[in-house]
């Protein structure tokens, strides 16, 4: 495992002062410490901007040693009670995080000058790769642009209860952008060719995180 980011042993409790609608203020599911935060590899993907958009630099998928576990609970289906949690994603890059984890601890998971991407970052990514920025079906684009040029991987997801799903078939990458108390945006694409630069998902599911700058 390569460490693109600095080794961080920061206390989760000490840095959890920022709370979004839908997230609780409870001790994270990984405990008091995220451990060593790094990326699956030290590769970065530079995506040139087009039509006046800025060039983006993307990290590989984020991982933390405290996430090396299979127990995961995103919280009950009641906004205001969603947990910050994560779990391992065997055979695929990065760990799987709830939205509340990437929102509450984004400054640790994506340390400056990196940051958690927004919904607009993903729309611009799709356009910079030659797409429309809109939802569509285009299997060739997924294979040639998202997988080959951007380094995407069908890492799947985890359910609220920690059950792995869609490994090898699709992937969801969290954005920091909320869609009400219960949901947030994520980039989603799959092996069929479905592309959703900004699809809405429940905040208590577990998805992959990549950072941008």
Per DSSP, 128 falls in state H
Measure the CA–CA gap between 161 and 158, rounded to whole angstroms.
8
Q: What is the chain's pLDDT, residue by residue, as a tens digit (213 residues)?
A: 445 554 444 444 433 334 457 899 999 999 999 999 999 999 999 999 988 888 999 999 999 999 999 999 999 988 789 999 999 999 999 999 999 999 999 999 999 999 999 999 999 999 999 999 999 999 999 999 999 999 999 999 999 999 999 999 999 999 999 998 899 999 999 999 999 999 999 999 999 999 999
Residue 111 in tokens = 């340390």
pTM score above 0.85: yes
- DSSP track, 78-119: STT-BPP-EE--TTSSS-EE-HHHHHHTHHHHS-TT-BPPPH
């Amino acid at each position: 495992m390569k460490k693109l980011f600095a080794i961080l042993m920061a206390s989760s409790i000490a840095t959890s002062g920022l709370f979004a609608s839908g997230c609780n203020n409870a001790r994270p599911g990984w405990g008091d410490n995220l451990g060593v935060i790094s990326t699956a590899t030290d590769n970065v993907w530079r995506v040139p901007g087009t039509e006046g958009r800025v060039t983006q630099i993307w990290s590989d998928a984020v991982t933390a040693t405290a996430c090396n576990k299979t127990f995961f609970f995103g919280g009950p289906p009641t906004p205001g009670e969603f947990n910050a949690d994560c779990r391992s994603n065997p055979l695929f890059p990065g760990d799987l995080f709830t939205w509340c984890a990437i929102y509450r601890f984004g400054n640790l998971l994506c340390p400056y000058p990196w940051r958690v991407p927004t919904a607009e970052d993903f729309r611009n990514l799709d356009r910079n790769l030659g797409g429309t920025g809109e939802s569509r079906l285009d299997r060739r684009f997924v294979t040639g642009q998202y997988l080959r040029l951007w380094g995407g991987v069908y890492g799947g997801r985890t359910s609220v209860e920690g059950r792995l799903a869609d490994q090898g078939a699709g992937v969801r990458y969290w954005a920091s952008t909320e869609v009400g108390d219960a949901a947030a945006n994520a980039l989603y694409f799959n092996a069929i060719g479905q592309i959703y630069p900004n699809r809405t998902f429940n905040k208590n599911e577990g998805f992959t995180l990549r950072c941008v700058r």
